[in-house]
C-alpha cells in the first residue's frame, strides 16, 4: 500500500490557528489539486480531532472525477477512515454519510460500537500500523492521509509515509496546531520529488529516500556471518544497490580467495559499464580499508576508482590490523560517505576474534 500525506501549512508551520473557525490556508486551485489527489485514492484517513473540529465531508467534489472513478469500477468516493480512542464523534456528522471505518483500541471496541456502530463499521486496532495492515488487507492500494497533526506525527515517526505533499501558504498564523509535534523520527533526509506553484501556494512533494540505508546495511552486516574466521582478518559483508533499490552485487570477506575483501568481491561482480552504478550505494559492514597489508589496492581506492559515488558503513575500522582511514580517502575522492555507528555493535559481534564486542 502506498501512503500519501496531504496537508496545508502556514509559513510559520501551523495546520490551524486554534480558533473556532476553520483556517483557510489555500485557494480554489489548490483545493482542486487535492480533489484530484483524492480521486486517485482508495481511502482517506483523518484523525478523530480533525473530524470533530473541521467536520469534513472528504468527498471527491468534481463530477467528472467521480464519473471516471465509477467507469474504472471504483466507488464514487474513497472510503473514509478515522481512528479514535475516546469514540467522541457525532454519528450524524457528514463524515459518516457514506461508507466509513472507525478504528479504536480493542479495549474500547464495545463502547465505540455503541455510539458509532450505526453510522460506521467500528474495528479494533492496536496502533496505526495495525490500521494500515487492515486497510491493506481490504485492498486499499493508495491511502491518502489528510491530517491532523497527531496522526501525521505518529505516521512519520513510525516511518509509515511513502509520500508527503505539503502546501505552504504565505500566511503567518502565530500559534495554534503545529504541523508536526515533537517525536523521534527516522534519521536521514527525505527526497524532494517536486516543487509546484499553485496560485500563491508552494506545493512541495517529498518521498522516501531512494535508499533504504538501514535495510541494506543490515544485509551487509548479515553477509559477514558467512565468512570463515581467520586470525589476521576481519569478517565483513558488502552489497551494491542501485538507486531504485535493485541489488547489483554482494560479497563477503575471503569469499573468492584467501585475501579478498568483501567490497572487492562485490565490486568484481558488477559490470563496470552498468549505468546504474553512478546512482548506486555500496553498503559495507565495516569502513572500507584505506591501507592494506595483503594486496596493493585498498578498498577505498577501488571504490573511488569505480563509478559508485556513495558508501554507507557501520563500524569505523579499529586500529588493530591496519591504520584504517578509508572514510577520509573516499571523502577526498568526492564519494558521499555515511557512517551508521549505532549498528556498529553488530559488526563487533562478528569480529569478536579481533576486537572487543562492546
Ligand X SMILES: NC(=O)c1ccc[n+]([C@@H]2O[C@H](COP(=O)([O-])OP(=O)(O)OC[C@H]3O[C@@H](n4cnc5c(N)ncnc54)[C@H](OP(=O)(O)O)[C@@H]3O)[C@@H](O)[C@H]2O)c1
Question: Which lies closer to Zn ion via its Cβ, residue 160 or residue 289?
Answer: 289
Q: Residue 299 touches which of Zn ion, ligand X, none (CB < 5 to 8 A by kind)?
A: Zn ion
β-pair type (100-104, 79-83): parallel
Least distance in angstroms from the C-beta of 196 to ligand X? 16
User: For ligand X, which stretch binds (CB under 6 A), given 40-48, 137-145, 187-195, 259-267?
Assistant: 40-48
Which residues does 253 contact at the CB level (< 8 Å), separation at least 6? 224, 227, 233, 234, 235, 236, 237, 260, 261, 262, 265
Site string for Zn ion, 238-267 (x = CB under 5 A): -----------------------x------
In 3D space, the residue among 263, 252, 341 whose CA is nearest the CA of residue 304 turns out to be 263
In 3D space, the residue among 208, 209, 198 whose CA is nearest the CA of residue 8 turns out to be 198
d(CA 351, CA 188): 27
Question: Which lies closer to ligand X via its Cβ, residue 86 or residue 191?
Answer: 86
Least distance in angstroms from the C-beta of 94 to ligand X? 15
Residue number, nearest CB to Zn ion? 299
Check binding of 135 to ligand X (CB under 6 A). Answer: no
Question: Which lies closer to Zn ion via its Cβ, residue 204 or residue 354?
Answer: 354
Least distance in angstroms from the C-beta of 200 to ligand X? 16
β-pair type (142-145, 121-124): unpaired
Which residues does 2 contact at the CB level (< 8 Å), separation at least 6? 141, 142, 143, 162, 163
Check binding of 246 to ligand X (CB under 6 A). Answer: no
The residue behind cell 523521534 is 184
Check binding of 154 to ligand X (CB under 6 A). Answer: yes
Q: Residue 325 touches which of Zn ion, ligand X, none (CB < 5 to 8 A by kind)?
A: none
Q: How many CA atoms lie within 13 A of 358 on its CB side?
A: 2
Q: How many CB atoms lie within 10 A of CB 75?
A: 13
Sheet holding 281-286, edge to edge: 247-252, 237-241, 281-286, 310-315, 336-339
Check binding of 299 to Zn ion (CB under 5 A). Answer: yes
d(CA 134, CA 39): 21
Question: Which lies closer to ligand X via its Cβ, residue 151 or residue 280?
Answer: 151
Of residues 5, 15, 79, 173, which one binds ligand X by CB under 6 A? 15
Q: How many CB atoms lie within 10 A of CB 171?
A: 19
Q: Residue 148 touches which of Zn ion, ligand X, none (CB < 5 to 8 A by kind)?
A: ligand X
Question: Which lies closer to Zn ion via its Cβ, residue 160 or residue 260?
Answer: 260
Check binding of 148 to ligand X (CB under 6 A). Answer: yes
Check binding of 58 to ligand X (CB under 6 A). Answer: no
Alpha-carbon torsion angle 311, 312, 313, 314, nearest 10: 170
Site for ligand X in 173-212 (CB under 6 A): 177
Site for Zn ion in 275-294 (CB under 5 A): 289
d(CA 152, CA 79): 19
Of residues 27, 31, 40, 54, which one binds ligand X by CB under 6 A? 54
d(CA 83, CA 77): 19
Least distance in angstroms from the C-beta of 333 to ligand X? 45
Least distance in angstroms from the C-beta of 166 to ligand X? 9
Q: Name the site residues for Zn ion (rule: CB under 5 A).
A: 261, 289, 299
Q: Name the site residues for ligand X (rule: CB under 6 A).
A: 7-8, 15-16, 22, 25, 46-50, 53-54, 83-86, 88, 127-128, 146-151, 154, 177
Amino acid at each position: 500500500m502506498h501512503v500519501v500525506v496531504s496537508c496545508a501549512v502556514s509559513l510559520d508551520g501551523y495546520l490551524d490557528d486554534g480558533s473556532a473557525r476553520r483556517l483557510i490556508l489555500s485557494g480554489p486551485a489548490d483545493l482542486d489539486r487535492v480533489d484530484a489527489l483524492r480521486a486517485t485514492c482508495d481511502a482517506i484517513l483523518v484523525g478523530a480531532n480533525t473530524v470533530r473540529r473541521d467536520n469534513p465531508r472528504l468527498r471527491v467534489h468534481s463530477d467528472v472525477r467521480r464519473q471516471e472513478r465509477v467507469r474504472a469500477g471504483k466507488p464514487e468516493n474513497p472510503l473514509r477512515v478515522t481512528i479514535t480512542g475516546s469514540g467522541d464523534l457525532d454519528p450524524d456528522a457528514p463524515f459518516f454519510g457514506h461508507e466509513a471505518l472507525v478504528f479504536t483500541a480493542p479495549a474500547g471496541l464495545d463502547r465505540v460500537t455503541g455510539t458509532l456502530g450505526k453510522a460506521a463499521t467500528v474495528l479494533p486496532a492496536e496502533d496505526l500500523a495495525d490500521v494500515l495492515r487492515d486497510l491493506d488487507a481490504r485492498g486499499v492500494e493508495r491511502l491518502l492521509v489528510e491530517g491532523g497533526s497527531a496522526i501525521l506525527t505518529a505516521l512519520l515517526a513510525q516511518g509509515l509515509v511513502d509520500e508527503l505533499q505539503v502546501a505552504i501558504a504565505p500566511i503567518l498564523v502565530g500559534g495554534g496546531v503545529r504541523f508536526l509535534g515533537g517525536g523521534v523520527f527516522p534519521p536521514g533526509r527525505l527526497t524532494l520529488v517536486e516543487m509546484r506553484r499553485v496560485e500563491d501556494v508552494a506545493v512541495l512533494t517529498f518521498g522516501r529516500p531512494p535508499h533504504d540505508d538501514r535495510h541494506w546495511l543490515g544485509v551487509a552486516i548479515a553477509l559477514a556471518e558467512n565468512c570463515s574466521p581467520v586470525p589476521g582478518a576481519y569478517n565483513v559483508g558488502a552489497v551494491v544497490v542501485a538507486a531504485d533499490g535493485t541489488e547489483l552485487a554482494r560479497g563477503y570477506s575471503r569469499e573468492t580467495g584467501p585475501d579478498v575483501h568483501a567490497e572487492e568481491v562485490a565490486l568484481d561482480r558488477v559490470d563496470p559499464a552498468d549505468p546504474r552504478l553512478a546512482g548506486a550505494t555500496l553498503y559495507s559492514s565495516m569502513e572500507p580499508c584505506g591501507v592494506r597489508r595483503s594486496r596493493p589496492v585498498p578498498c577505498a581506492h577501488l571504490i573511488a576508482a569505480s563509478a559508485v559515488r556513495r558508501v554507507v558503513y557501520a563500524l569505523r575500522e579499529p586500529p588493530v590490523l591496519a591504520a584504517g582511514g578509508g572514510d577520509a580517502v573516499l571523502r577526498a575522492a568526492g564519494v558521499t560517505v555515511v557512517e551508521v555507528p549505532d549498528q556498529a555493535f553488530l559488526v563487533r559481534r562478528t569480529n569478536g576474534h579481533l576486537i572487543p564486542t562492546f
